[in-house]
Amino acid sequence: MSKILTQIIYEQDYHLWLETTLKQLQERDLEHLDWDHLIEEIERLGNEQKHKLESYLLQLLKHLLLYQHWSLPECKNHWEVEIDNFRVELRKLTKSKNLYNYLLTVLEEVYIDALRQAKKKSGLNCFPQTCPYSIEQILDVDYLPPFIY
């Protein structure tokens, strides 16, 4: 397949491009692979996984902070469910050793965003400036922080 035809397929029928590329890989037809777009797609996929991880971590940390420091009776159960939901998704992603290691590197940076959002949501200024939760506590499906009033 020519480079021009491959470019047209990629731009006009992404699903066909995926099927064609998969078939070429399965057949070890490396000569005809659309290398530029394949590299771009793999990079995008990796970045998408990292973005998901950061997003779930942000929401989890924010809800842990709100649960611990701003325990409104009408929100407590909701926050517990949200904490559990974000943990489930985060645990799925961190089965990958690479993404688990990535989690460790972005934890403090993501915590700063979670802290800012928790302050805005609650109007409180009592949250710790550094993440008070260990990675084990963050991922532990049974862990809920003690209430601080």
| pTM, rounded to two decimals | 0.80
What are the backbone dihedrals phi and psi of residue 128, each rounded to the nearest 5 degrees, phi first?
-65, 145
Task: Choose between 7 and 135: higher pLDDT.
Answer: 135
Residue with tokens 């777009």: 37
Structure-model confidence comparison of residues 148 and 58, the more confident one: 58
Tokens linked to 146: 């003690």
Q: What is the pLDDT of residues 20-54, one digit of tens each?
A: 888 988 999 888 888 888 888 888 887 899 999 99
- Average pLDDT over the chain, rounded to an integer: 91
Rounded (5°) CA angle 140-146-149: 150
Structure tokens of 90?
């985060």
Tokens found for residue 48: 């998408």
Residue 62: both structure tokens together: 């924010």
Nearest to 60 by CA among 93, 101, 26, 16: 93
The C-alpha atoms of residue 63 and residue 69 are separated, in whole angstroms, by 10
Give the length of the chain: 149
The pLDDT of residue 89 is above 70: yes
Q: Between 35-69 and 14-26, two packed helices, what is the crossing angle to 10 degrees?
A: 110
